[in-house]
Chain A
């Protein structure tokens, strides 16, 4: 691996607030170590901006290890940048070349309004989960953990779906800004587990209705979401959601 430092042009979306129109600004950043993470590169940029009394770029992040789902950047038009199965915070500068221009934008979707610069409001996802993405079991009501055996293979499917980090890359990557991959991951996890079966009808109907209400677009099966998903959630879950939905629509009175 090359240790050569990079000189970069960063084309970054700046927007003062929800009402501001926003625009791209160009910044020159030199001498970037290839071992830095992408967000560390932005930290260095911000230090440079502060030193010249310019307001730093606001961007969301927290865990910086790919699990909290807080980081959220469109990098050269790709949600979380060029690498598969990788969040922005896990992306490293060794992926870029000296002299590159890198464009950095927030998630773009009606349901995710921009708060400032690269920060968006994803509370729509919380409301979708609140509309059925749970098992209704109050604290203290549970039987022994081993009371219902669950085959290892079923558990693996549930875990694959449950691995969703709720970042919203699926929405950002979709030309319709559809949230189907996100919603289907939760529906699918609960549909395969015996604990989730009781409420499967209400769950899928409730979550899909809320998804529509939040202004997410419809799914036209382009699978861009799967390609962008850092948690490798498969579009097979969308197929399961569709079956669950059809079943629920038939049985619901």
Chain B
């Protein structure tokens, strides 16, 4: 059972009216004078939108930055795969958008489990992001007259999403990456690619460095600095199959957690409704079909369960456009959690299509008839191409078949308004933190948050920490460094010497199955309790029976994977425990015990309007829950309805 701390967590949200908080706070924070900035070293782990933007911007300010990623180049961070777009409250289409509406939609979309002040800041900053990216040469889609184009995403009734075909993440990331490489050329950033962070170095309670493994040579290295900025992405791969890239992991965040950083709301995971369904047991990942497709695609299943006809032969009257039926005002553009559950409901009731009967149609016929194939191609060509490649079916002719899959993680390391964790000197940005999306993220808002954190928040808030803290120099052979190095080495030695029989992947798959079956789209008490005990058993078996071949002194992907899976096996238990403690349904967290008669989520604001931030006490030991109470002074909580 979880222990609950008596003190509530302090988010350090500044006073004053919500519209003025960020401006006032920027004025009140301490500054580092320009000449002193170069004396400070900052470590940025991760080169996605959050880390790339942060490292480039901090270097431009004059700090000396070391930038780390596990891929062979910073440009390959998982942000590159984001497809659909990025939100901003520009209101260029003149359709009624505003900073306030973006703020409102995001708080509501998150099912009233996000921190209002952070979300408002995000909405304010959203417009600067678009300007910055355009200036970098990001080729956003444009109207014929040359102005920026927008499209719609789920959970909003305005068009506020900026995009670059189906490759928005790629273009935004390349913008940040190019800014980063420019700073590298100027000598302000050291690029440390193919390095995996394995430990956080903490000195006198302050985060002061990291231990990494050089993945090309196997060497362990310690790096010290005046602050550590963690931008290491989400933990969706705890489910094994997800839309995340294969290397996405919880390792960096988890090792910080083990050094004292609180992990917040791990059970808030997002299942995306439109992904290519699983096709075989060799499947290694799932591919997203961007939410933007729901602008033009209509989701349906046959009215007659098991209808054997080809979809094009099923007449309109015998189709069930179930999203439009259940949610007439948002239709196909309901938020992800709602759409995913509705698809699962139809499939569970026997109406699914395809060999496995675990998929629904996403149909473009109406859009193609209305706008022509070329218009559809122009918006989505790369997505259609990708679908065709994987399934060998042409979506211009046959409806896509889709099913929900794990996609994004709203939970993450707990941070205050400055994006600093409870461990001073450790900042957490992007998907790795828990802050802005509550229990459900709206489409096109992760890119916004990553860039907001990296370009426009951390450059201010890090200065306050550096200017107000005692930061004596830490030599490389400081006992804290030696301890962290020894701990990383010890773990690798243990993994290599187990001499077991089972491959790392086989453990990862088994863990993923437990998580998906019992902590996935629908959860209940008995299932979660079983999951916890099964994870514990699997973890025990892993350490007794994993087989990691080769040597530690070369590139060795088995070691990399083994370390990550070992951490997922610890983290998965926390996720399940958090889900067990949260006796309500909200956003992506659906507890079967808490639903309305028509199957909608039932929140419990009296008991659960808080962030659950967990403190680690040891593997298999009960963690302590620290609560941060949430207040909704501007967007009064109501039942989220998209009907």
Contact = CB atoms under 8 A, between A and B. Distances in A.
Interface of A: 1, 16-17, 33, 35-37, 39-40, 43-44, 46-47, 50-51, 53-56, 58, 60-70, 85-86, 90, 92, 94, 115-116, 119, 121-123, 125-127, 129-131, 133-146, 148-152, 155, 158-159, 162-163, 165-166, 189-190, 193, 195-196
Q: Which 10 A-B pairs have the closest CB atoms?
A: A149-B146, A134-B178, A142-B135, A130-B181, A130-B185, A142-B131, A158-B139, A116-B555, A139-B57, A145-B134
B80 A36 contact: no
Interface of B: 53, 56-57, 60, 71-76, 78, 80-81, 90, 92, 128, 130-137, 139-148, 164-165, 167, 170-171, 174, 177-179, 181-182, 184-185, 191, 193, 216, 245-247, 279-280, 282-285, 287-288, 385-386, 389-390, 392, 455-456, 459, 503, 505-506, 547, 549-550, 554-558
Residue among B164, B171, B557, B558 with the most chain A CB within 10 A?
Answer: B557
B25 to A, nearest CB: 17
Nearest to A139: B57
27 contacts: A37-B390, A50-B547, A53-B547, A53-B549, A54-B549, A62-B76, A63-B80, A63-B245, A65-B81, A65-B285, A65-B287, A66-B386, A70-B72, A86-B389, A119-B72, A122-B72, A125-B73, A129-B75, A135-B136, A139-B56, A139-B57, A142-B131, A143-B135, A145-B148, A158-B137, A163-B170, A189-B137
A43 B282 CA distance: 8
Contacts of A92: 389-390, 392
A152 B141 CA distance: 8
B127 to A, nearest CB: 8
Contacts of A135: 135-137, 178
A47 B56 CA distance: 40
Contacts of A162: 139, 164, 170-171, 174
B92 A146 contact: yes
Given A35-B279, A70-B72, A142-B132, 16 more contacts: A40-B284, A50-B547, A67-B167, A68-B78, A68-B80, A69-B75, A121-B216, A126-B184, A127-B185, A139-B56, A149-B142, A150-B146, A158-B137, A162-B171, A166-B75, A196-B137
A137 B135 contact: yes
B456 A151 contact: no
A38 to B, nearest CB: 11
A189 B137 CA distance: 8
Residue among A54, A58, A137, A139 with the most chain B CB within 10 A?
Answer: A139
B395 to A, nearest CB: 15
**Binding site of A, secondary structure by majority: helix, strand, loop or mixed?**
loop
Contacts of A61: 246
Nearest to A119: B555
Contacts of A62: 71, 76, 78, 245-247
B284 A39 contact: yes
Contacts of B554: 16-17, 116
A60 B72 contact: yes
A67 B79 CA distance: 10
A138 B60 contact: yes
Contacts of B147: 146, 149
Given A92-B390, A139-B456, A129 B78 contact: no
A50 B503 contact: yes
Contacts of A130: 181-182, 184-185
Given A90-B389, A121-B216, A145 B56 contact: no
Contact of A64 (B76, B139, B245): B245
A54 B547 CA distance: 11
Contacts of B556: 58
B90 A44 contact: no
A35 B178 contact: no
Residue among B132, B284, B385 with the most chain A CB within 10 A?
Answer: B284
A39 B557 CA distance: 14
A141 B165 CA distance: 26
Contact of A68 (B76, B145, B390, B557): B76
Given A67-B81, A85-B385, A123-B193, A195 B135 contact: yes
Contact of B182 (A46, A70, A136, A143): A136
Given A1-B392, A67-B80, A193 B148 contact: no
Given A35-B279, A137-B136, A189-B137, A159 B165 contact: yes
B135 A35 contact: no
Contact of B73 (A123, A137, A141): A123
Contacts of B282: 33, 36, 40, 43-44
A141 B171 contact: no
A1 to B, nearest CB: 6
Given A129-B181, A131-B185, A37 B72 contact: no
A139 B547 CA distance: 47
A162 B170 CA distance: 9
B71 A68 contact: yes
Residue among B72, B279, B459 with the most chain A CB within 10 A?
Answer: B72
Contacts of A131: 185
A193 B284 CA distance: 39
A16 B218 CA distance: 13
A152 B164 CA distance: 12
Nearest to B79: A68
A16 B246 CA distance: 23
B167 A163 contact: yes
Contacts of B216: 115, 121
A51 B78 contact: no
Contacts of B78: 62-63, 68
